[in-house]
Amino acid sequence: MTATVHVLAEGYIGDRVAGTVTLLLDGDLVAVVDPGMVADRRLILDPIKGFGLAPEDVTDVVFSHHHPDHTLNAALFSHARFHDHWAIYHDDVWEDRDADGFALSPSVRLMRTPGHTWQDITTLAETGDGLVAATHLWWTADGPDEDPLAEDLSELMTSRRRLLELRPALIIPGHGSPFTPPTG
């Protein structure tokens, strides 16, 4: 089985800010990655409806890290389990676990990728077109090359190298359009 990946809303940075919001489908898994700031909640909800889904059909929500531009609209998905770097949250249950290597489904797993913040994780999805990584290791395809808000730039660069060693076919950055990573 392989996952399908759909960008619900492409993020941007500048005078205004929005995070990139991604939908992952894999068997029973209906996951939204980084349901953060967008100009209008319909930019998240309408594409989900276009897939024949309702917000209550979302089984899982993943936060790449805990900045509001990546978490603000989490409450849209009241039935979901919520995943971050160290736990799963569902209703009033807090289940500790390390995100690194945690599988949400047969084709979707999490990877610890600190640097932008110490809590950053990347969501990896095996698709028919190769590995797709939803991550905040890059803001956009165009940069910045050095994250000006990184808590640990050296660790960010190490995390980028670790991810690129997996040879992802596509990277979905925190604030931009998906891009094909450089080779070599």
- Specify the CATH number for the domain of residue 53: 3.60.15.10
The total number of residues written for the chain in this structure: 184
Q: What is the pLDDT of residue 8?
A: 98
Residue 81 falls within a domain, yes or no? Answer: yes
Q: What is the pLDDT of residue 182?
A: 79
Give the total number of structural domains in the chain: 1
Q: What is the pLDDT of residue 1?
A: 67
pTM over 0.85: yes
Q: Low-confidence residues of the chain, pLDDT below 70?
A: 1, 184
Residue 180 falls within a domain, yes or no? Answer: no
Q: How far is CA 64 from the centre of its chain?
A: 5
Q: What is the pLDDT of residue 184?
A: 58
Q: What is the pLDDT of residue 14?
A: 92
Residue 177 falls within a domain, yes or no? Answer: no
Domain membership of residue 143 as a residue range: 4-86+98-172
Residue 154 falls within a domain, yes or no? Answer: yes
Q: What is the pLDDT of residue 183?
A: 75
Q: How far is CA 104 from the centre of its chain?
A: 13
Residue 127 falls within a domain, yes or no? Answer: yes
* CA-wise closest residue to 34 among 15, 60, 2, 3: 60
Residue 72 falls within a domain, yes or no? Answer: yes
Residue 123 falls within a domain, yes or no? Answer: yes
Residue 91 falls within a domain, yes or no? Answer: no
Q: What is the pLDDT of residue 115?
A: 95
Q: What is the pLDDT of residue 143?
A: 86
Q: What is the pLDDT of residue 100?
A: 97
β-pairing, 103-105 vs 93-96, is unpaired
